[in-house]
Amino acid sequence: MIEKKIFGTLPDNREVYQYTLTNKSGCTVTIINFGAIVTSLLMPDRNGVLENLVLNYDSLHGYVNDQCYFGAIAGRYGNRIAKGRFQLEGNQYQLSINDGTNHLHGGKTGFSKKLWEGKILNTDSEPSLALTLISPDQEEGYPGTVTLTVTYTLTEKNELRIDYKGTTDRTTILNPTHHSYFNLSGSCANTILDHELSIDSDFITMVDHELISTGESYHVHHTPLDFRTPKAVGRQINERDPQMLMGKGYDHNWILKNFDGHVRNVAQVYEPRSGRHMAVLTDQPGLQFYSGNFLGGTVRGKDGFTYQNRSGLCLEAQCPPDSPNKPEFPSVVLKENETYHQTTIYHFSIK
Ligand code: BGC
């Protein structure tokens, strides 16, 4: 089932719609066509109690002014590009700068701040909503007109499935990602420090003090970044590892194993009190794990609640950061006769 209603009106009077997708077991996801944002996700705990598992705002105003990318599709390029510069087919491009001296999540008005076109695809027990955005040539400095469709499906197995399909009319780069902040406890009064996380990866891409990839990989063995077996996020978050100091906590890209274009299970999160479990499956080579280190005290969310550092965590599937300047990383180049695809699934269950 899908319900559609008006969510709010943008300053330029365009209307924003909210779509509520409900599956067979009564779980729901709400999505707005501004930023293709997931505004709530109701999943049961071990007693069957449905609670919201994503950080959110009360109204459209919160999303328009948001600096944290709550629930959004970040793009064209999710993550950072050093100095916003890169070369493509012999041309030098300068993107907008919106994070210190660097480009982050598509720039000043990236995909997360655009009004997308919504189309209800399926209203049965596995409801599905397609959102399409046309990003013109030179927007935020990127070459080529890109058309991106993101399809959200709430499956009968309680998966939030996200399928991306993108094309361009001229060679460009494309690396979108989904940016929900999850808190599986169901209450953002709790932090995510007791969430037990595992990531199927031996290496992160090393970063400098501006969180720009150095191009080197950093073995997680004997470091707080080792999530090869499940570990509470808070257990080693304050250790003085050089990479942890750069991110003020976890804000790194894990190089995922078995990257061959197929969807595989890459990460797990378990919240012991509620019994909720989330598996992340993706066909992408990298996973940014961000422990919400910069949320602290200033972000007022739903019901006027002020989020704190570590109120939520992001697990963002993508190509590793600054890949346009790192030939050793998988390519994010998209040519006019090609189609970009990504599938990422967040699968919720009880353990
Ligand atoms: C980045 C963080 C950034 C956050 C909000 C995350 O994807 O890794 O460094 O602060 O997004 O912009």
Cα angle 122-69-267, degrees, rounded to a multiple of 5: 70
Phi, psi values for residue 46, rounded to 5°: -70, -15
pLDDT digits (tens, 9 = 90+) for 48-102: 999 999 999 999 999 999 999 999 999 999 999 999 999 999 999 999 999 999 9
Distance of CA 18 from the midpoint of ligand 1 (Å): 25
Rounded distance from Cα 81 to ligand 1 centre (Å): 13
**Ligand 1 pocket member 17 (CB < 6 A):** no
User: Is residue 304 pLDDT above 80, yes or no?
Assistant: no
CA-CA distance, 26 to 67, in Å (whole number)? 32
Residue 123 pLDDT more than 90? Answer: no
**Model pLDDT, residue 349:** 98
Ligand 1: centre distance to CA 46 (Å): 31
Nearest CA to ligand 1 atom 6: 290
Given a contact cutoff of 8 angstroms between Cβ atoms, the answer to whether 83 and 67 are in contact is no
Question: What pLDDT, on the 0 to 100 scale, is given for residue 31?
Answer: 98
On whether the CB atoms of residues 17 and 32 are closer than 8 A, the answer is yes
Cβ of residue 196 lying under 6 Å from some atom of ligand 1: no
Convert the pLDDT of each residue in 91-117 to its tens digit.
Answer: 999 999 999 999 999 999 999 999 999
Q: What is the 3-state secondary structure (H, E, C) of the chain?
A: CEEEEEEEECCCCCEEEEEEEECCCCCEEEEECECCEEEEEEEECCCCCEEECECCCCCHHHHHHCCCCCCEEECCECCEEHHHEEEECCEEEECCCCECCEEECCCCCCHHHCECEEEEEECCCCCEEEEEEEECCCHHHCCCCEEEEEEEEECCCCEEEEEEEEEECCCEECECEEECCECCCCCCCCCCCCCEEEECCCEEEEECCCCCEEEEEEECCCCCCCCCCCEECCCCCCCCCHHHHHHCCCEEEEECCCCCCCCEEEEEEEECCCCEEEEEEECCCEEEEECCCCCCCCCECHHHCECCCCCCEEEEEECCCCHHHCCCCCCCEECCCCCEEEEEEEEEEEC
CA dihedral 42, 46, 47, 51 (to 10 degrees): -20
Residue type, 324: P
Pocket lining: 207 vs ligand 1, CB cutoff 6 Å = no
Report d(CA 83, CA 71) in Å as an integer.
Answer: 26
pLDDT at 301 over 80: no
pLDDT for res 185 = 97
**Using one digit for the tens of pLDDT, what is the confidence trace for 135-170?**
999 999 999 999 999 999 999 999 999 999 999 999
pLDDT greater than 90 at residue 303: no
- CB of 317 closer than 6 angstroms to any ligand 1 atom: no
Q: 330 pLDDT exceeds 90?
A: yes
User: Cα 117 from chain centroid?
Assistant: 20
Ligand 1 contacts CB of residue 68 (under 6 A): yes
66 lines ligand 1 (CB under 6 A): no
- CATH code at 2-350: 2.70.98.10
Cα separation of 283 and 329, whole Å?
A: 15
Q: 134 C-alpha to center of ligand 1: Å?
A: 24
Nearest CA to ligand 1 atom 4: 68
Mean pLDDT of all residues belonging to the chain: 96
Atom of ligand 1 nearest to the CA of 74: 7
Ligand 1 centroid – CA 292 distance (Å): 8
The residue whose CA is least distant from atom 12 of ligand 1 is 68
Nearest CA to ligand 1 atom 9: 251
**Is residue 22's pLDDT more than 90?**
yes
Res. 296 pLDDT band, cuts 50 70 90:
confident
C-alpha of residue 233 to centroid of ligand 1, in Å:
17
pLDDT digits (tens, 9 = 90+) for 169-220: 999 999 999 999 999 999 988 999 999 999 999 999 999 999 999 999 999 9
Residues with a catalytic annotation lie at 179, 316
Average pLDDT over residues 268-274: 98
Report pLDDT digits (tens) over 25-54: 999 999 999 999 999 999 999 999 999 999
To test ligand 1's pocket by mutation, which of 69, 250, 287, 289 has the most ligand atoms within 8 angstroms of CB?
69
Closest ligand 1 atom to residue 294 Cα is 10
Is residue 116 within 6 Å of ligand 1 at its C-beta? no
Residue 276 C-alpha to ligand 1 middle, in angstroms?
Answer: 25
